[in-house]
Amino acid sequence: ALQYSIEKIREDFPILKREVNGYPLVYFDNAATSQTPQQVIDVIADYYANYNANIHRGVHALSQEATDKYEEARHIIQQHFNIEKSHEVIFTSGTTHGINLVSNGFASLLENGDEIIVSALEHHSNIVPWQILAEKTGAVLKVIPMNQEGELIYSAFEELLSEKTKLVFVNHVSNALGTVNPIKKIIDKAHQYNAAVLVDGAQAAPHIKADVKALDVDFYVVSAHKMCGPTGVGMLYGKEEWLNKLPPYQGGGEMIATVTFEKTTYAELPHKFEAGTPNICGGIAFGAAINYMNNLGFDKIAAYEEELLHYGTEKLLEIDGMEIYGVSKEKTAVISFNIKGLHPYDIGTILDKLGIAVRTGHHCAQPIMDFYKIPGTVRASFSFYNTKEEIDAFIKAVIKAKTMLS
């Protein structure tokens, strides 16, 4: 049996002790951003208290300490995602930045009439940059459709592929529904056509330890703030051969080898893609967050969250008029729902009055809402530090909201 000491884990998160509107906080907006354990907060405070300095350039002690810690964090990230070479780890400001870095680079690699494939289950940040790319290059954007259960239709994906396909971009886990996509199958199939695959791992990273080597994925992007780290930092993994093919995204300091007004040469990886002073403290804290989660263990986290998902789903379905969107057997602890006749925003507002944080709206995934012909949903997303007691409070509050609004 799994040893999982929820009381001890909750002690690590100071924010979980606070009240909202006179009620104990119930934080079920983990898919938007996760909370930060004291171990990570301490690392952030330690950086600013003891060795705040710019990296890679300084001869002095503080700069070297900061550089060492930053590069140590790169190493932690490398190991966590089973990345072969440390220079295949590019620090970014987050998933959105990572995707834009790749989509901009592909502008110089695509030709009019090439095809690129997106899925119906994407976050806007894995749609819009590719639309811009298609507009710039004349490439054609194709969409893998979804079914009523909130899953991608894999056979339709196979039919979209052709010799013209250059790139496929899908998320590992859908933020709006929690569906876990069959990315290994998608990657292997796309590679049969020599198409590159970018996987948006923003929602998978807090629940699933992705092994990029086993996946053989070409690009994998995540945000630290979804996995117990700070905002404003993330990772782009790219296979070395691809990162060498892509031109730099931003010009500036750090990313050059030599600069003259006649010609500038670019630095080696990873610096070619890391122009300017990065989020140094954020990067170091990202490493600490990954260490924290690995100390708990991703197997234990996944098993516990699955229990919460089943418990929450069962309880919600006892409520009359309940409609849950995204019912794949392969899903993370996200419940997206509506109650017949009620607006999601009104439910969310009443839940907030009762101290319960959920997200309402389209979740930056309007195509999914259009598919279901709804304006949005209420989304409760659980983390490893949530409890069944919190779910009970949430269910009570949903019933109260329903009574008040009906």
List contacts with ligand PMP (CB under 6 A). 94-96, 123, 125-126, 171, 175, 200, 202-203, 223, 364
Q: For ligand PMP, give the closer residue by CB, 123 or 239.
A: 123
Pairwise CA distance, residues 129 & 120, whole Å: 15
Task: At 164, list the tokens.
Answer: 């013209």
**What element of type H or E holds 104?**
helix 95-105
Site of tokens 């990886």: 269
Q: Cβ of residue 108: shortest distance to ligand PMP, in angstroms?
A: 23
Q: Cβ of residue 310: shortest distance to ligand PMP, in angstroms?
A: 22
**For 140-193, what is the HEC assignment?**
EEEEECECCCCCECHHHHHHHCCCCEEEEEEECECCCCCEECCHHHHHHHHHCC
Task: At 97, list the tokens.
Answer: 């930045």
Q: Give the residue from 324, 341, 331 showing the smallest Cα distance to 378.
A: 324
Q: Cβ of residue 335: shortest distance to ligand PMP, in angstroms?
A: 15
In 3-state terms, what secondary structure has residue 325? strand
Q: For ligand PMP, give the closer residue by CB, 293 or 397.
A: 293
Indicate which residue of 302, 364, 374, 399 is catalytic. 364
Phi/psi for 293 (5° steps) reads: -65, -40
Q: Cβ of residue 265: shortest distance to ligand PMP, in angstroms?
A: 30
Q: Cβ of residue 170: shortest distance to ligand PMP, in angstroms?
A: 10
In our burial notation (b when 16+ CB lie closer than 10 A, e otherwise), range 270-283 reads bbbbbbeebbbbbb
Pairwise CA distance, residues 187 & 170, whole Å: 10
Q: For ligand PMP, give the closer residue by CB, 128 or 160.
A: 128
Reply yes or no on whether 228 is catalytic. Answer: no
Q: For ligand PMP, give the closer residue by CB, 51 or 237.
A: 237
Query: Which residues are identified as catalytic?
Result: 364
